[in-house]
Structure 1
């Protein structure tokens, strides 16, 4: 039977998964809001659907697996807002459904550790919206839902090097602040491992082994480039967008034992140093 992934909001992480699945003869249908992005998806082997707008019933009928990357908006989860009944009617058809959430659902733990059993106490509007979306997806009877709580994502085209090179990088200092992060290639490996070993109802933290202060990551990137370490700026007086400042409202270390113990995932980049080294080597070799 042909395996068909229907990917809502086919962006950065979903594309990394596609690069693993396409060589295994998967059919992948991916939605995008932008007609301009459709040719790029096609060139990458994805069947694009401009959605909202396109009739998604044929794609839902064909899907054996579903991935949801689309973020919740003012009206909640956009996929459920339009297609909940159609998805619920096909719950038994799908072998696997994955929802990409965020570790922001755990809220602030003042630098302490959290795991998948930690109560969800989000401290930001984005985190609250994600908890509501997780709950809404989980409320669909018999849907083989898997929730993936992603830490800060980096990878090709998404790293600190450009800001360090152009002199706009800053090391924001907030005492005790730590973030967990994850390379996009490891997100793809976790998703592929879950597809191969479904466990409906499971939630997985997707992050590396080394939660670290953000200023350390910037400093290491500068060291790799052989450039001066960017200046430090106190968090309280730093000029930051509301979005950027909201990230500093939470400090926690995220455990990732479940992706290793249940899914057998061995991280390609278990810490930011190995990840940044690989990114730079990839840039130089490109």
Structure 2
């Protein structure tokens, strides 16, 4: 299989690592020439795609691709991949699968209630509103082109090097408390498993929540990480007095519990890390966290 990844970042790299041992040929876009050269040396043919540069060779990879994974964030006007390549993608002769990595943020705030794929999107901030619009644009593209488009709504992503254990080691972990606030999470290895399963079983217009089974307050996850490391947890900080970036603060403006039963019933995925407990425990066993 030939897979073209638009936006080769943390999640996409783990997807590629899962697929390459099975013979998948991966090409990708990144935003800088040094990163493209580094990926090419590792066996992933990479090209630069950014607001001020678009490598002409991307068109050749589209023409050869059997699958396309879109992991680039929207810009102010929508999806940059659709804007630049919609006609070429629609005409790609071998293409049978398109995946778009979105976010559970498109559901908006549900005051801690449960949501699933049948819950209407009701984004409450500007970034999520653009995400919801891009989802619809890709689904409409799939309906017109006849190519199976899939939307993956991801919860908070964690995994190697990106987790509360690493934050404790770096001295940046904080226990911010907002009563009643809960989040879902998803280990990056489980995202890769869902993508692989969908590639085996395309379904045009599919929307999947990709999320763990235990929504929990953020401070509880930090506390578990500290317990696993045998160190005191950082002190609690009231949300109202916490110093947060506008983006971080916006995450606390929404609370919901996310169901992801469809990836099990339809794709047959069994999460390796069904809650943050298994995920952090495995990461600690691999050496993540403070050395002491």
Which residue does 2:185 correspond to in 1? 181
The counterpart of 1:84, out of the listed 76, 83, 86, is 86
Unaligned 5+ segments in structure 2 are none
3-state DSSP class of the match of 1:10? Answer: coil
**CA distance in 2: counterparts of 1:40 and 1:218, whole angstroms:** 34
Q: Does 1:275 align with 2:279?
A: yes
1:1-286 residue pairs with structure 2 within 5 A? 3-52=1-50, 53-55=54-56, 56-90=58-92, 93-140=94-141, 141=144, 142-283=146-287
> Partners of 2:8 and 2:229 in 1: how far apart?
32
Distance 1:16 1:168 in 2: 24
CA root-mean-square deviation: 1.4
Give 1:88 deviation, angstroms.
2.3
98-107 or 8-17, which moves further after superposition? Answer: 8-17
Contact 1:100 / 1:150 at 8 angstroms: preserved in 2?
A: yes
Aligned to 2:287, what secondary structure does the other structure show? helix
* 1:143 shift after superposition: 2.3
Deviation at 1:284, TM superposition (A): 5.7
1:45 Cα deviation (Å)? 2.5
| Separation in structure 2 between the aligned mates of residue 166 and residue 231 of structure 1, nearest angstrom | 16
Verify the 8 A CA contact 2:156 2:186 in the aligned structure 1: yes
Deviation, structure 1 residue 206? 0.3
Taking a change above 3 Å as real, the CA distance of residues 43 and 155 of structure 1, as seen in their structure-2 partners, is farther
What is the TM-score of this pair, normalised by structure 2? 0.93
Q: Is the 8 A contact 2:3 2:65 kept in 1?
A: yes
* Native 8 Å contact 1:208 1:271 kept in 2: yes
Deviation per CA, 1:14-48, whole angstroms, max 9, x where unpaired? 11111121111111111101112123323443111
Compute the displacement of 1:72 (Å).
0.2
Q: Which runs of 5+ in 1 are unaligned?
A: none
Deviation at 1:93, TM superposition (A): 3.5
Shift of 1:106: 0.3
The separation in 1 between residues aligned to 2:11 and 2:173, in whole angstroms, is 24
The CA distance in 2 between the partners of 1:246 and 1:102, in whole Å, is 14
Structure 1 runs, 4 residues or longer, greater than 6 Å off: none
Higher mean alpha-carbon deviation, 242-251 vs 161-170, is at: 161-170
Q: Does structure 1 retain, via aligned residues, the 8 Å contact 2:150–2:205?
A: yes
Q: Once structures 1 and 2 are overlaid, which stretch shifts more, 202-211 or 45-54?
A: 45-54
Q: Report the TM-score when normalising by structure 1.
A: 0.95
